[in-house]
Amino acid sequence: MQNPPVMNSNIVLIGMMGCGKTTVGEIISEIGGLSFVDTDTLIESRVQMTVPQIFEKHGEPYFRALETEAAKQAGSHTNAVIATGGGMILSADNMKHLRGFVVYLRCEAWQLYERVGDDPNRPLLSGTFNKNFLENMLATREPLYKLYSNFIINAGEHKADELAKIILKEHALDKQRLE
């Protein structure tokens, strides 16, 4: 007899830069006993460069290719919470690798703007960055965040530890539904 399929119980956090994926992911990992994986960190350790350095030296397409490799690597984990870069949803292939309970941490453009300003560690926001740019980026990406998510939460309305608890509760309910 074949073994029953192993259910992938990962929690995958998606959303725009500054919506709190890393912070919330770390708290989920701590209180939920899941391992923590951050795709930007996987990329940085693979090439021994920071994200801004990768953008500056090799450009965005190279970064996106590394991001797909990181999605593959992150998706091979089980019982993990995976924080993704804001652009992860730009490739359907990436999202095929990142199975699990996918949560969109939703924020309004003004909330994101307040949080990230023109953060030098976020290369897409440097140079010509302004509020308009962020609004357009959110408008383009939001349908994809919605498309790939199993659960959407208004991240701007809760503190990080509240978000973590709500997500863990929904994840447990989702697992029950699948059993």
Which residues form the interface with ligand S3P (CB under 6 A)? 17, 21, 40, 51, 85-87, 122-124
- CB 141 → ligand S3P: shortest distance, Å? 8
115/174 with CB nearer ligand S3P: 115
- CB 74 → ligand S3P: shortest distance, Å? 13
- CB 121 → ligand S3P: shortest distance, Å? 8
- CB 21 → ligand S3P: shortest distance, Å? 6
Q: Are 70 and 94 in contact (CB under 8 A)?
A: no
Measured CA to CA, the distance from residue 120 to residue 116 in angstroms comes to: 9
| Maximal C-alpha separation, the chain | 60
How big is the chain, counted in residues?
179
87/100 with CB nearer ligand S3P: 87
Residue 103 sits at φ, ψ, to 5 deg, of: -115, 125
Kindly list the distances between the CA atom of residue 50 and the CA atoms of 94, 123, 152, in Å, as whole numbers in the listed order: 21, 10, 30
83/168 with CB nearer ligand S3P: 83
